[in-house]
Amino acid sequence: VSDRLVIALDAMGGDRAPEVVIDGAEIARERFPNISFLMFGDQPRLEPLVQAHPKLAAVTEYRHTTEVVSGEDKPSIALRSARQSSMRLAINSVRDGDASCVVSAGNTGALMAIAKFVLKTLPGIHRPAITTYYPTMRGESCMLDLGANVQCDAENLVQFAVMGEVFARNVLGVKNPSIGILNVGAENLKGNEAVRKASIMLKESTLPIKFHGFIEGDDIGAGVVDVVVTDGFTGNIALKTYEGTAKMFGVFLKRALSESFMSKFGAWLASSALQKFKMQVDPRLYNGAMFLGLNGICIKSHGGTDALGFSNAIHVAVEMITHSFNEAIKEDYAQLSGHDKTMQEAVGS
Amino acid sequence: VSDRLVIALDAMGGDRAPEVVIDGAEIARERFPNISFLMFGDQPRLEPLVQAHPKLAAVTEYRHTTEVVSGEDKPSIALRSARQSSMRLAINSVRDGDASCVVSAGNTGALMAIAKFVLKTLPGIHRPAITTYYPTMRGESCMLDLGANVQCDAENLVQFAVMGEVFARNVLGVKNPSIGILNVGAENLKGNEAVRKASIMLKESTLPIKFHGFIEGDDIGAGVVDVVVTDGFTGNIALKTYEGTAKMFGVFLKRALSESFMSKFGAWLASSALQKFKMQVDPRLYNGAMFLGLNGICIKSHGGTDALGFSNAIHVAVEMITHSFNEAIKEDYAQLSGHDKTMQEAVGS
């Protein structure tokens, strides 16, 4: 297990754990032959499930624990008391260098609180943020924050802009990513104080980043910018609205196509195209939210995803390690934050 | 023009005014034979366009003015200085009883500021809200506020809940509408202070309304509740994200179906089903945001809509008048607000 990439899995987190975690790990193993797993959880329960996949069993080590953080646990309580939980121990293993990253489908708030406490934030970053990428009409974009910070000031938003820029460049592979701040209108006077001030700070800074200005909700799906910056309250609601609308659209389409013999036959003829279309917006292929700004890589899977979805969260983790994301963010961030005075104040360096 | 329903039109508001306004009025006239129009704007420009539709010309009276509120005007400036604008005069005509309602595709902020100043709010309502209805997996729901109030406290949200309930019952025809507050999670501890406090107020009140609790962004498209309550910042972004995602989905589907001969042929066979599907999510059929809580009916059309979309904004106005919406909201609101102490405090009556 020497030149292998070790991934810590919180095997007990998520609605259908540990089954979905183990089946997801098996799919990811097929995709990335060089990964191995540290699996945290109830070993007597995990082992027979893992043994069903001999090749997975060969690259899995167990770390037994019976304590579990539940979906209902308050983050502060989970942080203080669940010290032997599968989630906590998995995060510890990243801090201790036993694993390169951690993937969990457990309680988001608890995962963020514990990861922040155990791994600490990167230099100059006050608050970590949650991001993910998603399909748009123009390709893929990312949005942050998605819920780590319910209330944000202008300085937080500016830090998110910088972290998002580094993410889009290093993980999404966009050469010169454009940044937009989510608002209720494009005009300077629109919105609350935080977005107005953040916009002025980004406009006035001499940072080498492409600041587009304000964008609106419909610009998310249009892919007007590569990085959408917003507070965690609005971002969480916007991303879930996006997901829910896509789901609704899919249901409407399915209903319509199953209405008559003619439409069913037409749908059958177009089935390969419809399949491709479905793949394009399949939320499982975009599962995996990244915690940015931490001294270690931590990926949150949707709690309700299936094995394919969970495997994609592992995929995201592999991508971030392969692209040395945290080294890149540290370097770029230091360079950017040293760039001008406004930014030095904003990033507190 | 005696027993006719008179609608005041701001003929100069919107991206493609006055053409879209006039063509939209013609479509609405065909749908509702008993309506007539007071058309505010540059009469020499309007008249030849209206004359192209002789039946429309027969039910149209002009109120000439050359002043126009532009999309870039600051609401406070428009309120103070644009006193002879088509928007202002159209709103005045509702106050003066010359028209039953006003429809404008102009500057939202200016329209709200002027309408609030000229028409005043209904008794017990501190702040008017913008709402609209939209298709969900379960039917139709409405959301408020969509941008009139960027920052809201718990009392505002409770007032929106009551106004939304009355709207859903009287305009959407839902017998016992359920109300949800938009949040980043369903648990009591989630979110900011305003949503937490509003949720407690609604739970503790003995109001005869069906309060569901918190909902998340993906519950919007799922239609989990009939009335989604949120602040104007989040609501504006959520609704536009919904619209943008539906648009993106449509573009993806079109691209996929035009990929091969087979998929094109399949789409042709299923074209009647696809057409029905398209209708179901056509944003033009849901165009028309209602200003609730004002002493007069004021409908805002999307600035960029076409004639069909504008005609639907007129449709919404007709619905609200036909259902005596403002009388209903006044009665229900007085009844509800007298119902218990918490509510009396919240609604300030």
pLDDT tens readout for residues B16-37: 999 999 999 999 999 999 999 9
Contacts of B271 in chain A (CB under 8 A): 266
Q: Are B220 and A248 in contact (CB under 8 A)?
A: no
| B167 min Cα distance to partner chain A (Å) | 23
Contacts of A217 in chain B (CB under 8 A): 236-244
| A316 min Cα distance to partner chain B (Å) | 23
B323 φ, ψ (degrees, to nearest 5): -90, 15
ipTM over 0.90: no
Contacts of A147 in chain B (CB under 8 A): 184
The pLDDT of residue B1 is above 50 = no
Q: Are strands A227-229 and B5-10 parallel, antiparallel or unpaired?
A: unpaired
pLDDT tens profile A284-297: 888 889 999 999 99
The pLDDT of residue A347 is above 60 = no
What DSSP character marks residue A124?
T
Q: Are B51 and B44 in contact (CB under 8 A)?
A: no
Q: Are A23 and A30 in contact (CB under 8 A)?
A: no
Probe site for chain B from A239, A241, A254, A269 (most B CB atoms < 10 A): A241
Q: Are A110 and A79 in contact (CB under 8 A)?
A: yes
> Half-sphere exposure of residue A233, counting CA atoms within 13 Å on the CB side?
19
Tell me the percentage of chain B whose pLDDT exceeds 70.
Answer: 95
List strands edge to edge, sheet with A5-10.
A60-64, A35-41, A5-10, A101-104, A297-300, A289-292, A129-136, A139-144, A227-229, A178-182, A210-215
Q: Are B26 and B306 in contact (CB under 8 A)?
A: no
How far is the C-alpha of A52 from the C-alpha of A71, rounded, in Å?
28
* Contact assignment for B262 to A274 by CB distance below 8 Å: no
| A290 min Cα distance to partner chain B (Å) | 17
Q: Hey, is A253 helix, strand or coil?
A: helix
Q: Among B28-37, B302-311, B324-333, which is the least confidently predicted range?
A: B324-333
Contacts of B304 in chain A (CB under 8 A): none
User: Least CA distance to B237: which residue of chain A?
Assistant: A217
* Contact assignment for A257 to B273 by CB distance below 8 Å: yes
Buried-state track B136-170, b at ≥16 Cβ within 10 A, e below 16: bbeebbbbbbbbbbbebbbbbbbbbbbbbbbbbbb
User: Least CA distance to A216: which residue of chain B?
Assistant: B237
Q: Hey, is B253 helix, strand or coil?
A: helix
Q: In A171-304, which residue ranges form alpha helices assigned H by DSSP?
A: 193-204, 218-222, 232-257, 261-269, 271-280
| A266 min Cα distance to partner chain B (Å) | 4
pLDDT at B135: 94
The pLDDT of residue B342 is above 60 = no
- The answer to pTM > 0.80 is yes
Return the ∠ at Cα A216 (arms to A247 and B258), rounded to 5°.
50
pLDDT tens profile A163-191: 999 899 988 889 999 999 999 987 777 88
Number of A to B CB contacts under 8 A, please give it. 212
One-character DSSP codes across A70-119: -TTS-HHHHHHH-TTBHHHHHHHHHHTTS-SEEEE-S-HHHHHHHHHHHH
How far is the C-alpha of A309 from the C-alpha of A299, rounded, in Å?
13
pLDDT at B349: 43
Q: Are A125 and A158 in contact (CB under 8 A)?
A: no
How far is the C-alpha of B195 from the C-alpha of A163, rounded, in Å?
29
**A20 or B189, greater pLDDT:** A20
